Chain A
Amino acid sequence: MRDTQLVMYDEDYRRILGVVQRLVRDANAKGIFVVDRNGQLIAEAGEMRGIDTTSLASLTAGCIAATGGLAKLVGEDDFPVHFHQGQRDNLHITLVSHRIILVVVFDDRSSLGLVRLRVKKAGAELAKVFEDIQKKTERASAKGGGTPFSEITDDDIDNLFSV
């Protein structure tokens, strides 16, 4: 059975963004990134403009995948919370609902305790949003539509490669 694809509509994005923008304020974070477990960036908030978010998303997913593999080796299902301490900035990474990765970048304006506390609440909210997205995707998929591919023709695909 192939994984179901993730389809995010504008209203879903706004809900996610609402959660992470609030988390930036509540946790005094520099930046927040929501990443799909397969390495796709879903949303971001905070002051970290100009950072290479595509690389960040891919490397975060790789990190979660590698430690997930380690977890299984020692008989755990996953290691859902990671903390990386740097000289100036720190990373707090949480796996939400086995599918979404919440990355919080923070410095000495915040603390690990505060971030952990705020992430717990935001993680639960995000889990609900992604549960709703999943249900919506499954409903649309059962009806045989709900993605741009219902409208796209073979010619559209061929034209992409015609140049």
Chain B
Amino acid sequence: MSFINYSSREINCKIVYYGPGLCGKTTNLQWIYNKTNPDLKGKMISLATETERTLFFDFLPLALGEIRGFKTRFHLYTVPGQVFYDASRKLILKGVDGVVFVADSQIERMEANVESVENLRLNLAEQGYSMDQTPCVVQYNKRDLPNAAPLDEMRSLLNPTGLPDFEACATDGKGVFETLKAVARSVLRDLKQMSG
């Protein structure tokens, strides 16, 4: 749910990075954090376990520039990907304006990807959202690995409706900003459409 503040002339939106455990959601945010001008970002928060697995969420506030005198600020969140953290995922999805589904390209993670995208669909529906109506993009991460599944196969399994999608390798930044720009653009267009 966006927050438009006329007093500080800001538009604030919430984007959630979703996907199975170890698919690279936190790595996406870390890359964005490391490569963004300090003036445009806030502190990155990671609520993680001792073994650096996301426990509740990662959070990164980011400014993307101005539109007609309004600063656009995006709050980027990740969810914990492990199956048993579903209650936390539901909480983090509340009030979401846009979603990035990060898929793990490794062929042996395909079942986990399918399970996670189905979980996203269910959790969005529980809050009255649908994947078709919520600005959503798909990122096929870890494309550099030798055991990566063919792209066509991943598309047909995870993105049958043809959402904007991107190949990525988040550890070296490939596709990370392209994904972020696509979801941010999609969120702003959606807000414009909702305003009539």
Closest to A151 in B: B68
Q: Given the interface contacts A37-B95, A144-B195, does A6 sit within 8 Å of B1 by beta carbon?
A: yes
Pairwise interchain contact A147-B4, C-beta atoms closer than 8 A: yes
Pairwise interchain contact B191-A149, C-beta atoms closer than 8 A: yes
Pairwise interchain contact A157-B6, C-beta atoms closer than 8 A: no
Whether a CB of chain A sits under 8 angstroms from the CB of B129 is yes
Query: Residues of B contacting A1 with CB < 8 Å?
Result: 128
Query: Residues of B contacting A13 with CB < 8 Å?
Result: 5-7
The contact string, 1 if C-beta is below 8 Å from chain B, for chain A 134-163, is 000000010011111111101011111101
| A8 vs chain B, min Cβ distance (A) | 5
User: When chains A and B are docked, how far (Å) is the Cα of A144 from the Cα of B195?
Assistant: 6
Whether a CB of chain A sits under 8 angstroms from the CB of B121 is no
Query: Residues of B contacting A150 with CB < 8 Å?
Result: 195-196
Closest to B61 in A: A54
Pairwise interchain contact A54-B56, C-beta atoms closer than 8 A: no
Closest to B64 in A: A160
The contact string, 1 if C-beta is below 8 Å from chain B, for chain A 80-110, is 0000000000000000000000000000000
Q: 10 closest A-B pairs (Cβ-Cβ)?
A: A144-B196, A38-B95, A13-B7, A149-B195, A3-B1, A65-B91, A40-B3, A149-B192, A54-B42, A5-B2
In the complex, chain B residues 62-98 whose Cβ is within 8 Å of any chain A Cβ: 64-68, 70, 72, 75, 87-88, 90-92, 94-95
Whether a CB of chain B sits under 8 angstroms from the CB of A123 is no
Closest to B1 in A: A3
In the complex, chain B residues 138-181 whose Cβ is within 8 Å of any chain A Cβ: 181
Pairwise interchain contact B59-A58, C-beta atoms closer than 8 A: yes
Pairwise interchain contact B188-A157, C-beta atoms closer than 8 A: yes
User: When chains A and B are docked, how far (Å) is the Cα of A42 from the Cα of B3?
Assistant: 9
Closest to B95 in A: A38
Q: Given the interface contacts A152-B67, A157-B185, does A5 sit within 8 Å of B191 by beta carbon?
A: yes
| B135 vs chain A, min Cβ distance (A) | 11
Whether a CB of chain B sits under 8 angstroms from the CB of A48 is no
Pairwise interchain contact A69-B195, C-beta atoms closer than 8 A: no
User: When chains A and B are docked, how far (Å) is the Cα of A5 from the Cα of B68?
Assistant: 19
Pairwise interchain contact A3-B95, C-beta atoms closer than 8 A: yes
Pairwise interchain contact B72-A38, C-beta atoms closer than 8 A: no
Q: Given the interface contacts A39-B75, A58-B75, does A2 sit within 8 Å of B45 by beta carbon?
A: no
Closest to A72 in B: B87
Q: Given the interface contacts A8-B5, A9-B7, A40-B75, does A2 sit within 8 Å of B128 by beta carbon?
A: yes
| A41 vs chain B, min Cβ distance (A) | 9
Whether a CB of chain A sits under 8 angstroms from the CB of B43 is yes
**Which among A38, A42, A52, A144 has the greatest number of chain B C-beta atoms within 10 A?**
A38
